[in-house]
């Protein structure tokens, strides 16, 4: 069954009374080259297990299953159950968990289902929760090698921007703290059904084995970054003074102690600058 074929998708929908849910970010892939590319470039292969988020009709799920030892997919929409029962029927290495990924203990899923095997996360993410899903996977410190996901092109540009440049945002630093991000390839809006209003890109985050700070310091780091980007065009002393309840003079001295000018703005700092500031805080 060719799951990128529009006729096949329409037949599956009609037979099962299914219609797209815009609020669940259901834009299904109909470009046949995209899913094999995600699976190949996402690190799938013999000895590897894959966790997928959002199956749709199972188009990426099948590509992951063809290459990996085992695939577990988390899908929120139970209306897809009868469709997936048909489209994945011939595969014995796939399990679909019907649940909200944001409410799912992914570490437990990986431990129980994959038992210590090397694991990758691959997904065409629902756009309404792109950043929360990426941050959940990273902050939960899941034991994975890489996360390869389709996101809106603007989100890809922000996530993969070089820290310290105008394109970056708070998420750039968070992602760089836990991983090394890279844009793999672009995907135009016509590759989806229904077609979204924006183009997309597939990015891969290679997970760092040891993030550089302790859990407590990490919380402070993200507090500092979030505060800075809450007023990204203003001088960093202002939001930091408010967030850390220190005077502007004290913040200026803190910045000076890590080699930064008092007039510096949030987006001008490197990740190392933020880490250095965090280490100086009580
Ligand atoms: N993988 C399929 C593809 O590429 O055609 C579907 C991708 S579609 C962009 C996103 C999928 O995520 C949909 O199947 C949607 O129902 C599912 N989804 C949306 N919100 C979710 C959530 N909170 N937890 C799990 N799955 C979710």
Q: Which CATH number is 6-207 given?
A: 3.40.50.150
pLDDT at 211: 80
Which residue's alpha carbon is at the smallest distance from atom 14 of ligand 1? 56
Residue 181 CB less than 6 A away from ligand 1: no
Residue 121 CB less than 6 A away from ligand 1: no
Residue ranges per domain, the chain?
Answer: 6-207, 215-280
Residue range 6-34: average pLDDT?
Answer: 97
* Cα–Cα distance, 158 to 169 (Å, whole number): 6
* Cα–Cα distance, 31 to 188 (Å, whole number): 10
Which residue's alpha carbon is at the smallest distance from atom 17 of ligand 1? 54
Residue 126 CB less than 6 A away from ligand 1: yes
Query: Has residue 204 got a pLDDT over 90?
Result: yes
pLDDT at 124: 98
Residue range 37-65: average pLDDT?
Answer: 98
CATH superfamily, domain at 215-280: rRNA adenine dimethylase, C-terminal domain (1.10.8.100)
From 37, 56, 121, give the residue whose CB has the most ligand 1 atoms within 8 Å, as the site to mutate: 56
Query: Has residue 115 got a pLDDT over 90?
Result: yes
List, for residues 206-235, the tens digit of each pLDDT value. Answer: 999 888 899 899 999 999 999 999 998 899
* Cα–Cα distance, 225 to 175 (Å, whole number): 12
Residues 6+ apart with CB under 8 A from 113: 49, 70, 72, 95
From 28, 65, 126, give the residue whose CB has the most ligand 1 atoms within 8 Å, as the site to mutate: 126
List, for residues 227-258, the tens digit of each pLDDT value. Answer: 999 998 899 999 999 999 999 999 999 999 99
78 Cα: distance to centroid of ligand 1 (angstroms):
11
Average pLDDT in the chain: 96
Task: Tell me the C-alpha to C-alpha distance, in Å, between residue 176 and each of 42, 222, 233, 266.
Answer: 18, 12, 21, 15
């Amino acid at each position: 069954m060719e799951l990128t074929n529009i006729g096949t998708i329409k037949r599956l929908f009609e037979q099962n009374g299914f219609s797209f849910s815009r609020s669940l970010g259901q834009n299904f892939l109909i470009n046949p080259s995209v899913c094999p590319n995600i699976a190949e470039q996402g690190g799938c292969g013999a000895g590897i297990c894959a966790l997928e988020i959002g199956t749709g009709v199972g188009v990426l799920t099948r590509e992951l299953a063809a290459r990996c030892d085992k695939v577990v997919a988390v899908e929120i929409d139970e209306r897809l159950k009868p469709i997936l029962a048909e489209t994945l029927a011939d595969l014995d290495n796939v399990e679909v968990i019907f649940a909200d990924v944001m409410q799912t203990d992914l570490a437990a899923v990986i431990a129980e289902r994959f038992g210590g095997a090397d694991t990758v996360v691959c997904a065409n993410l629902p756009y309404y929760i792109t950043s929360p899903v990426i941050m959940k996977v990273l902050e939960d410190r899941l034991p994975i090698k890489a996360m390869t996901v389709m996101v809106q092109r603007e989100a890809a540009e922000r996530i993969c921007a070089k820290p310290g440049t105008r394109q970056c945002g708070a998420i750039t630093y968070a992602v760089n703290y836990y991983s090394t991000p890279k844009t793999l390839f672009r995907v135009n809006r016509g590759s989806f059904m229904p077609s979204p209003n924006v183009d997309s890109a597939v990015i891969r985050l290679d997970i760092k084995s040891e993030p550089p700070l302790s859990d407590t310091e990490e919380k402070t780091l993200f507090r500092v970054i979030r505060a800075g980007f809450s007023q990204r065009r203003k001088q960093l002393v202002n939001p930091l003074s408010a967030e850390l309840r220190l005077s502007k003079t004290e913040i200026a001295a803190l910045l000076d102690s890590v080699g930064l000018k008092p007039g510096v703005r949030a987006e001008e700092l490197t990740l190392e600058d933020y880490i250095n500031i965090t280490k100086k805080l009580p």
